[in-house]
Amino acid sequence: MTGDAPWAATIDRFAAMVAAARRALFITGAGISADSGMPTYRGIGGLYEAQQTDEGIAIEDALSGEMLARAPALCWKYIHVIESAARHAEPNAAHEVIAWLQSRLDVWVLTQNVDGLHRRAGSRQVIEIHGDVHGLSCTACEFQQRVADYAALAPVPLCPRCGATLRPDVVLFGEALPGEAVARLRQELARGFDIVVSIGTTSVFPYIAAPVLQARARGNATVEVNPGQSAVSAAVELRIVARAAATMAALRQALTGSSSPA
């Protein structure tokens, strides 16, 4: 957006849509965490801007379930890269405002991010459709643990019980989505949402775009906050071409008259 008047009018419209809702779904991607200093995965400055790894293979192949089984050291090399990028990140205004909105309406978050920042900001109803990098599980036995970060982990961490390779509780390329998260998403979508807001995601996965498209088809409010184009940009009722933190901070101010939580 350019110019104060168009920006203010857009935020006022966004605020009116939120104020009229009783249930809201926020769908978030890498763009929301970019305002916490984390690089996105693709594009200029992204973790995988070069498209290929040092080994000359696509990052999707390196970070696949098949690679974890066949060459765990290579897969874990790039798992460590992702965790290292997220290690010192803190929730930003966008995460905080979504959590704050829980005091006003029934808020659910569907996130593709594995950084855990929504929960750290205080959001309670979070569907982590791609998992959480802070959880670890053994590939051979029932051992599980949570860690604050990977600073103390070996390049290829092994299970203290059976010695097999540990893995992060995230969805690697080529793997199925977690059944429990999918079931919860379907259940909440069946209940319906008055507003669906997509923030910082290209919406290339069908299960990320579908809630927006379904809401639009049903006549419910739909909003996208994204500085770039996405698969749902042409479908939403209101498109805000801006970054997540600034937009959500402005939304809070429009709803309360203050830039701080009320």
Catalytic residue numbers?
130
Using alpha carbons only, what angle is made at residue 216 by residues 96 and 23, rounded to the nearest 5 degrees?
40
Q: In what order do the strands lie in the sheet with 126-128?
A: 126-128, 106-111, 23-28, 195-199, 221-225, 238-240
Token pair 């979504």: residue: 98
DSSP, collapsed to helix, strand or coil, labels residue 256 as helix
Phi-psi region of 251 (alpha: psi -120 to 50; beta: other; left: phi over 0): alpha
Please give the sequence-ordered ranges of beta strands (E in DSSP) within the chain, or none if there are none.
Answer: 23-28, 106-111, 126-128, 131-138, 144-146, 166-170, 195-199, 221-225, 238-240
- 158 in Cβ contact with 167 (< 8 Å): no
- 116 in Cβ contact with 134 (< 8 Å): yes
Nearest Cα neighbor of 249 from 107, 32, 120, 93 is: 93
Q: How far apart are CA 200 and CA 228, in angstroms?
A: 9
| Alpha-helix residue ranges (DSSP H) falling in 108-174 | 117-121
The count of C-alpha atoms lying within 13 angstroms of the C-alpha of 166, restricted to the half-sphere facing its C-beta, is: 24
